[in-house]
């Protein structure tokens, strides 16, 4: 680990435009359950039955009954040390962008400014009937009573998150691709790279000869192509990496 940490820190210290790709493992230390691990959310639910656009349109009450169980930990969550490290590196001019698959807003809460949320967010919701948008917190009363919040027009409000069988927001996805085309180092952290199309994004940078550092508990399909692989909890490894970077830069 020490050798890999030194290697990763040297890459970060030398890089001029770093892009970080994060997933559920980045927020797990903040108390938010992930989805795909053995004890994750999908161990108890069929995602197509509760979290697809088709399921939402068929029965929004069922969707919100499922979502209500996730809202409490998400709303209570605070940025963990790994989130704070990214904000520090951005302020230092090292990080060009954070691309995240998470919907919890913890990167922004931790101080990161340029964040591309591939799967949307829980800050607001949109009426499926008239496209009216409202802040998500204003709907929590209905959600906690077990009912799908509805607009004056009668349409159900859907959180601005990307559900299964729903396309990613094309503008955000384009910005993420553009950032990867221009970076010289990709840090993949807290994701096992199993969800398309996010899992393929690092390949954009690798094709342009960018370097790759992976920080994750489990193996990923890109481990063999990485310049450094750090196996462990991001809340421990990312601060250690930042400290080592500071020593490298300080000489």
Question: What is the spatial distance between Cα 27 and Cα 33, in angstroms, rounded to a whole number?
Answer: 8
Question: What is the spatial distance between Cα 133 and Cα 131, in angstroms, rounded to a whole number?
Answer: 6
Q: Which of 83, 107, 119, 121 is catalytic?
A: 119
Question: What is the spatial distance between Cα 209 and Cα 78, in angstroms, rounded to a whole number?
Answer: 36
User: Residue 149: which residues within 8 A CB-CB, separation 6 or more?
Assistant: 64, 125, 139, 142, 143, 156, 157
Report which DSSP code applies to 155.
P
DSSP E strands in the chain: the ranges are 18-22, 95-100, 115-117, 120-127, 133-135, 157-161, 185-189, 211-216, 228-231
Question: What is the spatial distance between Cα 127 and Cα 151, in angstroms, rounded to a whole number?
Answer: 6
Question: What is the spatial distance between Cα 222 and Cα 192, in angstroms, rounded to a whole number?
Answer: 9
Q: Does 83 participate in catalysis according to the annotation? A: no
Residue carrying the six token digits 């830069």:
249
Active site residues: 119
């Amino acid at each position: 680990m020490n050798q890999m940490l030194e290697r990763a820190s040297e890459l970060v210290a030398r890089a001029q435009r770093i892009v970080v790709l994060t997933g559920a493992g980045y927020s797990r230390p903040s108390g938010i359950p992930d989805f795909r691990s053995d004890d994750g959310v999908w161990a108890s639910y069929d995602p197509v039955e509760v979290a697809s656009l088709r399921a939402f349109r068929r029965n929004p009450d069922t969707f919100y009954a499922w979502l209500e169980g996730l809202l409490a930990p998400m709303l209570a969550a605070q940025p963990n040390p790994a989130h704070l490290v990214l904000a520090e590196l951005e302020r230092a001019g090292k990080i060009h962008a954070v691309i995240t698959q998470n919907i919890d807003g913890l990167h922004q809460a931790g101080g990161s400014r340029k964040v591309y949320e591939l799967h949307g967010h829980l800050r607001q919701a949109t009426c499926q009937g008239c496209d009216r948008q409202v802040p998500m917190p204003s709907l929590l009363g209905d959600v906690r009573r077990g009912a799908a919040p509805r607009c004056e027009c009668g349409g159900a409000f859907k959180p601005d998150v990307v559900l299964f069988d729903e396309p990613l927001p094309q503008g955000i996805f384009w910005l993420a691709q553009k950032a990867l085309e221009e970076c010289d180092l990709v840090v993949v952290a807290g994701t096992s790279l199993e969800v398309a199309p996010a899992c393929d994004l690092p390949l954009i940078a690798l094709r342009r000869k960018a370097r790759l550092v992976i920080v994750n508990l489990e193996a990923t399909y890109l481990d063999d192509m990485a310049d450094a692989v750090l196996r462990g909890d991001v809340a421990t490894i990312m601060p250690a990496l930042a400290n080592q970077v500071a020593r490298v830069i300080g000489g």
